[in-house]
Structure 1
Amino acid sequence: MAIIGLGLLLFALLIGNMQNFLQALGRRKLEMSLRRRDVEQWMSHRRLSEELKRKVRQSERYNWAATRGVNEEMILENLPEDLQREIRRHLFKFVKKVRIFALMDDPILDAICEKLRQKTYIKGSKIFYRGGVIEKMVFIVRGEMESIGEDGIKVPLSRGDVCGEELLTWCLEHSSMNKDVKKIRIPGQRLFCNRMVRCLTNVEAFTLRAADLEEVTSLFARFLRNPHVQGAIRYESPYCRGLAAIRIQVAWRYKKKHLNRSGKASIQSNDSSRH
């Protein structure tokens, strides 16, 4: 009788857990259907074209599949601060794969991780385009991208890669210091992109906005101006490498032009001496 009673109790617990699971699953499906209905009503109200509606539906489906409808920021906000830091370090461990951030101390990395925001992009989305303003850094978590430079060379980007890292260099170089050693944003200056970055597949990523990056660099400006960090930034950043290539080309053309002039002058002097 005891064994039968224990078996019935375990069976009742199993039934209860299954019922709770089915209720949660039904509630999640209801939330998804309500979300889709709201999106459809919004698109109809704004009279979007069929092509835009298709892209919005695709983005919503992928966003729901990536997050499962869970708001990670809301969950983290209810946890203790030390636990939040540990979870963010685990989620954003790919940040240290970038050589620039690998040289930084934990307080700077924690400040950067607090500013990272989850973002999803669908296949064909253009993250950056030539002549556009770079306003964010993008860390790829899942998916594939490609970067196409002005010379047409394609560079593949995948999990663990980052694009828009030249924004960090630009934020450090285009700033001034006041008497209180606080960073001042110089108005009227923007960083423009010289390449195009687009998604080859659906991409899940974390983004760091320019305003948040400026805030972090203003708090840790003294450390970020360390020669080792600056050297790593200039070595890793395609923006700095592009500037270096342009300066080398200009210097080489100037030297070549100077050599041609000196060669012509020597030939003319030889001819005059013969006459």
Structure 2
Amino acid sequence: MTGFIKGKREKRCIRHLLRRAKAPRLAAEYLASVLLVLTGLFLCSPVFLLLSGSITGEFELARALKPALLGGGGFISWEFIPEFPTFASFRKLLFYSPQFFLLFWNSIKMVLLILAGQLLIAVPAAWAFAVYQFPFRRMLFTLYIVLMLMPFQVTMLSSYLVLDKLRLLDTQGSVILPAVFSTFPVFLIYRGFRSVHPGLLEAGRIDGAGELRLFVVVGLPLGSPAILSAFVLGFLEYWNMIEQPLTFIKTKALWPLSLYLPEIGLGQAGFAFAASVVTLIPALFIFLLGQDYLEQGIAMSGLKE
């Protein structure tokens, strides 16, 4: 009986010690969670500002943005919940701004054509780099990486001269064609294809599968996370591009939507906020839809050869 009581006391002491050991860890996890939530709210504050400004009336916006609009002293005052919410800016944008819809569909058309072109060019190129051995393979892939690291400002003049020779300046093709041959999706998709085990391909060849069949049946399904992540990143990049269309397209009717927002002055602040919210919706939808694939593709891009 005495031994039984002693054993219960030892178990109670062990549970107490375990509880005390877990307490600092739980406190650290709670603190980390609080810090992450606060950081997330801070990073999302521009989006909250857009949403708030889009439903704020002109009088309230003029009062809040008075230092910026009139160029006087003082600081901008802002309330995330307006006193008198209104959807007048959205009504003006959606029903009385045909130019907005024209540029919106320009963006949709340009981005879809770019991604379709990359599907035809970048995916087979990445498969060739990842699977086949051919002369100067490493040197050519290194050249791809160097081109990927070059900013647009470096290649702008050469691109302008080539597009001028092709008679594509002041057309949407001047933006679409260079983007189709972008090297970044090749690099990202290549890393995904490198995860395909060579033994799997050899087994397919022994069974009589041709190279095209291996690419379609084995390569595309196993490399789909990297392909989809490249397309998600490509959509976000080309949906928001400014420098390329501003350089190569002079006719405003051919502009993408990303060039519409800078044309709105401070005197139309509410209209600008509403246009920004509508512009943000497709990018946010694509990001949320492909978030899992984006994470998998970025993880694959870190694989070593």
Q: TM-score normalised by the shorter chain: which range applies?
A: under 0.3
Question: TM-score, normalized by length of structure 1?
Answer: 0.24
Which one scores higher on RCO, CA 8 angstroms, separation ≥ 6?
A: 2
As a proportion of its length, which structure holds more strand? 1
As a proportion of its length, which structure holds more helix? 2
